[in-house]
Chains A and B, each alone.
Chain A
Amino acid sequence: AQTVTQSQPEMSVQEAETVTLSCTYDTSESNYYLFWYKQPPSRQMILVIRQEAYKQQNATENRFSVNFQKAAKSFSLKISDSQLGDTAMYFCACMEYGNKLVFGAGTILRVKS
């Protein structure tokens, strides 16, 4: 069975600085997807970025990028030039065939001015 672990319950970063959120996962599948979702205080789940396991290249979306280490089963999220609007809970998730997502427990990120 899949498991997803986020070892940092809370993190904080100064505005305009860079922060990295950690995620490790376990799966027996060779083909899977990894996701980072953001949940602001409104509770809406917003897709930040996704990575296909078969792709070597790390995904990027504007200020958000991932460091995908397949052998180590690690999938960290880097946020550059942090903004106050980035304050949210961030969830790492893994999806195998069958489209069932398994989520980590989340990391609360606070961006300070």
Chain B
Amino acid sequence: NAGVTQTPKFQVLKTGQSMTLQCAQDMNHNSMYWYRQDPGMGLRLIYYSASEGTTDKGEVPNGYNVSRLNKREFSLRLESAAPSQTSVYFCASSGGVSRIETQYFGPGTRLLVL
């Protein structure tokens, strides 16, 4: 039982390049989330998916797109990377059976945009 996994662990991009961050969970959770963590700040929600087939914007969605591929997988895409998107990205999932659920996090992806 791996929990929440993320790939890649680390990536360097040039400004304008695109990439997709992958996230998968094996806990049969309904809800999945993408956060970014910047120095001196807590995690901020980019997008979330309350259930398979649905996605919604969080606090900082500009410059990102997401796909809930199936119940297990939730990807985050940067279409044209900018230096302001240099950050550590975390994926999380939660059960979604109750109204409020504990979120479990992946190990993070460190992204550097030059």
B100 and A95 within 8 A (CB): yes
B contacts with A, residue count (CB < 8 A): 26
Contacting chain A: which of B16-24, B35-43, B60-68, B71-79? B35-43
A103 and B108 within 8 A (CB): no
* A-B pair number, CB within 8 angstroms: 62
A91 CA / B35 CA spacing, docked (Å): 14
Residues of B19-60 contacting chain A, CB below 8 A:
31, 33, 40-45, 48, 50, 58
Let me know if A47 is at the binding interface, CB within 8 A: yes
A91 and B43 within 8 A (CB): yes
A contacts with B, residue count (CB < 8 A): 28
Not counting A32-B100, A33-B100, A35-B102, a sample of 11 additional A-B residue pairs whose C-beta atoms are within 8 angstroms of each other reads A4-B42, A43-B107, A44-B107, A45-B90, A45-B92, A47-B102, A97-B99, A97-B100, A99-B50, A102-B42, A106-B42
**Can you spell out 11 A-B residue pairs with CB atoms less than 8 angstroms apart?**
A43-B88, A43-B108, A44-B108, A45-B90, A45-B108, A47-B104, A52-B100, A96-B100, A99-B31, A105-B41, A106-B42
Binding site for A on B (CB under 8 A): 31, 33, 40-45, 48, 50, 58, 88, 90, 92, 94, 96, 99-105, 107-108, 110
